[in-house]
Amino acid sequence: MPLISETPAWKHLSQLRGELQGITLGDLFAADAERAAKLNVDLGDLYIDFSRQRVTPDVLAGLVALAGAADVPGFLKRMAAGEAVNTSEDRAALHTAVRGTEGADVRTDIDAADAAMQAFVAAVHAGEIASAGGQPFDAVLAIGIGGSELGPALALDALGDAAGMKLDVRMCANIDGIAFERATAGLDPATTLVVVISKSFRTMETGANAERAQAWMRRAVGENWAGNFAAVSANVDEVGQFGIAADRIFPMWDWVGGRYSLWSAVGLPVALAFGWDVFAELRAGAAEMDRHVLSAPATENAPILLALMTVWNTNFLGCGAEACVPYDTRLARLVGHLQQLEMESNGKRVTAEGYPVDYATQPVVFGGIGLNAQHAFFQQLHQGTAAPVDILLPARAPTGDEAQHDLLISSALAQADALAFGRENMAEPHRHYPGDRPSTVIVYGDLTARMLGKLIALYEHKTAAAAAIWGINPFDQWGVELGKEMGDAVLPMLGDADAAPPSLGPLIGAVNRMRGS
């Protein structure tokens, strides 16, 4: 299969890029007063405005043709149908099936897992499943890293204010020691349920924290510690050897990738925090986006259009980064989730067939919360190196303070126009704002569980669509595996700096000197 850069559609876009030279966003709006009314996708409670992207009607048509040349709709349908779209590992990617989207014959496995998880959640909340000492659980410590932490942590943070937690649910990922201390601060181990989340149950970070949690629990309840543990894993044998009972193990499947796994039993901390109904609503919102992406034409398809804007900005306008700026404190964890979702998925240098690409793939994702970001890195966006921005904005005030929310909305919309149109001041160059900084504005009614699911799925499908265009596999992560392997090799060198290679010897020596060893 040829590289996408060799197709007529790509070459036509390269030509259109040259024709865009000297045409500003201001010119595009001046030429078409209906531009903002035309360049959007309106899904009722979700409105996505692409009008501030540097695309002409011809460019947009060319991008849609590029999606056709790459068979983006076909790729998304094959993914949902259960084909082995993860070619390097010969696996399906059926996160859509877990949230109820039809297309693959795995319903029996999903229904069984859901029934077990739902019963467990209800029993914990009712006090029927209690701690080793017979007391009801009042807290949950969820241990995991990567997709086992980022998605659940996003949902916990985003929904905690509105849904109200039934249990005090904390997440622990890092192994510097401080993370565990902070996650367990104020918790009584005797009434804390520890949920260890790891597909292999051999992940170094998760294993280290699980052992620390086990020791923490032993000190409180003795040899009955396992009564306060549950696990989410594909490796039942390894979990059993650790000491967790079989009826406390919930499944993970090799056909659901880690960064797409929130919808599976990996979301158990979310269900324990808010109840099964809220978790079901989260899934339902994602399933709504599944139906949209699988049925809407590319010209009206929100995830595909988001992907096309990233491809245009990256491969034709030369942008190496893109920002995500939610004007919603509840989405503080979204950027971290998207960093894994997009960069781990699409940060690749070869196609799914193994051929080196001759074009850039995934740009760096960065971001921050609205007004905070304006006072942190928006200076660069306005007058430094340009980076496209996704601005996310809730229409309704989450606390009911409409006057304060008006300030937030006006700030967000003003930034979108300031980035697009700038302000000319040739007499004072330091106060000249060139504009032509592309952005997409995403407005949603309120951040319910259903809306959060819809937003996460929007970016999941954007990621898969961009991968289809670049011809890469978004469902493996061999670069991550390399880091794990090399970490295992370096560990024994810490006790013997002389055995380390020249690149590491001085560093290990410095570390040991500062440790006093």
Are residue 319 and residue 266 in the same domain, yes or no?
Answer: no
> Distances from the Cα of 397 to the Cαs of 48, 81, 149, 252, 424, in angstroms?
19, 39, 28, 38, 34
Q: Using alpha carbons, select from 463, 474, 470, 466 the residue that is nearest to residue 5.
A: 470
Amino acid at 430: H
Per-residue pLDDT in tens (0 to 9) along the chain, 517 residues: 789 999 999 999 999 999 999 999 999 999 999 999 999 999 999 999 999 999 999 999 999 999 999 999 999 999 999 999 999 999 999 999 999 888 778 999 999 999 999 999 999 999 999 999 999 999 999 999 999 999 999 999 999 987 789 999 999 999 999 999 999 999 999 999 999 999 999 889 999 999 999 999 999 999 999 999 999 999 999 999 999 999 999 999 999 999 999 999 999 999 999 999 999 999 999 999 999 999 999 999 999 999 999 999 999 999 999 999 999 999 999 999 999 999 999 999 999 999 999 999 999 999 999 999 999 999 999 999 999 999 999 999 999 999 999 999 999 999 999 999 998 888 888 888 888 999 999 999 999 999 999 999 999 999 999 999 999 999 999 999 898 889 889 999 998 888 899 999 999 999 999 998 7
Are residue 398 and residue 509 in the same domain, yes or no?
Answer: no
Are residue 370 and residue 247 in the same domain, yes or no?
Answer: no
Whether 223 is covered by a domain: the verdict is yes
Are residue 472 and residue 487 in the same domain, yes or no?
Answer: no
Given 246, 263, 280, the domain boundary residue is 280
Are residue 488 and residue 382 in the same domain, yes or no?
Answer: no
Whether 67 is covered by a domain: the verdict is no
Are residue 465 and residue 498 in the same domain, yes or no?
Answer: no
Are residue 272 and residue 311 in the same domain, yes or no?
Answer: no
Active-site residue among 375, 402, 424, 481? 375
Are residue 258 and residue 372 in the same domain, yes or no?
Answer: no
> Distances from the Cα of 77 to the Cαs of 300, 309, 471, in angstroms?
17, 21, 16
- Pairing of the two strands 229-233 and 249-251: parallel
Active-site residue among 149, 205, 322, 344? 344
Q: Which two tokens stand for residue 89?
A: 């590992």
Q: Which two tokens stand for residue 289?
A: 């986006």
Element (H, E) at 250: strand 249-251
Active site residue 337: no
- Neighbouring C-alpha atoms within 13 Å toward the C-beta of 15: 8
Are residue 365 and residue 254 in the same domain, yes or no?
Answer: no
- Euclidean distance between CA atoms 473 and 469, whole angstroms: 11
**Domains held by the chain: number:** 3
DSSP classification of residue 377: T
Whether 287 is covered by a domain: the verdict is no
Whether 487 is covered by a domain: the verdict is yes
Active-site residue among 6, 19, 38, 484? 484
Residue 202: which domain range? 95-280
Active site residue 344: yes
CATH number at residue 415: 3.40.50.10490
Whether 216 is covered by a domain: the verdict is yes
Given 244, 264, 280, the domain boundary residue is 280
Whether 109 is covered by a domain: the verdict is yes
Are residue 107 and residue 20 in the same domain, yes or no?
Answer: no
Active site residue 12: no
Whether 290 is covered by a domain: the verdict is no
Whether 64 is covered by a domain: the verdict is no
Are residue 237 and residue 272 in the same domain, yes or no?
Answer: yes
Are residue 211 and residue 119 in the same domain, yes or no?
Answer: yes
